[in-house]
Amino acid sequence: MAKIDMGRARFKIQRRLGVELPGLGKAGALERKPYGPGQHGMQRKKLSDYTVRLLEKQKVMFNYGLRESQLRNYVTKAKKVKTASWVDTMIIALESRLDNVVFRANWATSTPAARQLVSHKHIKVNGKTVNVPGYQLQPGDVIEVSDKGAKSASFLQAKVRPRISSIPAFLTKEPSGEKEKVKLVARPLAEDIPFAFEKRLVIEYYWKVK
C-alpha cells in the first residue's frame, strides 16, 4: 500500500473524511475534534461534487489499506459480475480478503497490523500457511493463528484492546483448545462494511472505469 506515516496521519485522515475507519486502528478521531484538521478545519467548506465522491472513495481505500491501482482492479473485476450491483460485489471481495478477516477476528489492531501478521506467515487457512494479504477466502475456510503469531506483540495487543467489540456474523469462533481459529461460515454482505458509506457516490466516482 502507499506509504503513510500512520502514527501521525490516522487521526487526520479520519477527521478529514468525517468518519471513524476501524481499519486504521486508531479510535476516537472524532470525539474531541469532530471537524477537519488544520487551522481552518472548523470552517464550513463547500465541496465540489467531485470532491464529495473522492472522499467517499477514500474511505474504502484507507480502511482496507489499498493503493488506488489496487482498488481500481477490484472495481474492474466487480463490474464483470452481472448478478449484483458491482459496488456490492466489490465490498464483499474486500471483506473476504484474508488480512481483513484477520482484523475483523480481532487478531490485529488495524488492517496494516493484520497484513503484517499474514505477510510474516503467522496465519494459516485450512491448515496451510498463507502469506498473501489479499487472498480471497471462501465460505467453509478455517483461519488460524500460528503458535508464533499468537505470541506476537500485535496479536497480544489486539486481544487486550480489540479495535472492534465483536466479530461479524459471517465469522464464528472455532473450538480449538488454546489455538485461535475462526471459520468463514458465509460470504460477507455488502452491509457488513464497518463504517458509514454512501455507495452511490463511489458508483459515480468510478462510472468511467470498465
Q: Go through the domains of the chain in sequence order and give each one's CATH number.
A: 6-82+195-205 (1.10.1050.10), 97-187 (3.10.290.10)
pLDDT of 133: 98
Q: Answer yes or no: are the C-beta atoms of 34 and 48 closer than 8 Å.
A: no
Q: Answer yes or no: are the C-beta atoms of 30 and 5 closer than 8 Å.
A: no
List the one residue out of 124, 139, 131, 121 whose CA is nearest residue 176. Answer: 124
Contacts for 47 with CB less than 8 Å, ≥ 6 apart: 55
pLDDT of 70: 97
pLDDT of 38: 46
Helix (H, G, I), strand (E, B), or coil: what is residue 53? helix
> Low-confidence residues of the chain, pLDDT below 50?
1-7, 37-42
pLDDT of 131: 97
pLDDT of 176: 67
Q: What is the pLDDT of residues 167-181, one digit of tens each?
A: 999 999 987 666 889
What is the greatest pairwise CA distance in the chain?
55
pLDDT of 3: 45
The owner of cell 477476528 is 105
pLDDT of 177: 64
pTM: 0.87
Q: How far is CA 208 from CA 62, 71, 173, in A?
A: 22, 14, 41
- Phi and psi of 187, rounded to 5°? -70, 140
User: What are the grid coordinates assigned to 48, written together?
Assistant: 465540489
Helix (H, G, I), strand (E, B), or coil: what is residue 3? coil
List the one residue out of 1, 48, 54 whose CA is nearest residue 23. Answer: 1
